[in-house]
Amino acid sequence: MRAAGDALELSATGRSMSITRDITATVTEEGSVTVPARILGDLLARGSSPLATLGSDGLNLE
């Protein structure tokens, strides 16, 4: 996951394929983080709201 400019880039890889998707976002601080698929899937499945706030304390995703 990478936030830059006005986009959030989501990337996933597997043994034989990879996928990347850019999503329009309001980015207040640019950066990137690796998120386990299980956690990202749980976040996406939790709500139908298009609004989400993600942050990091430097080591952990909040």
Helices (H), the chain: 37-46
- pLDDT class of 48 with cuts at 50, 70, 90: low
Q: Which residue has the higher pLDDT, 32 or 58?
A: 32
- pLDDT class of 4 with cuts at 50, 70, 90: very high
What does the mean pLDDT of the chain come to?
A: 83
Q: What is the pTM of this model?
A: 0.67
Residue 9 near residue 2, CB atoms below 8 Å = yes
Name the nearest CA neighbour of 28 among 8, 43, 57, 58.
Answer: 8
Residue 33: pLDDT over 90: no
pLDDT at residue 49, rounded to an integer = 66
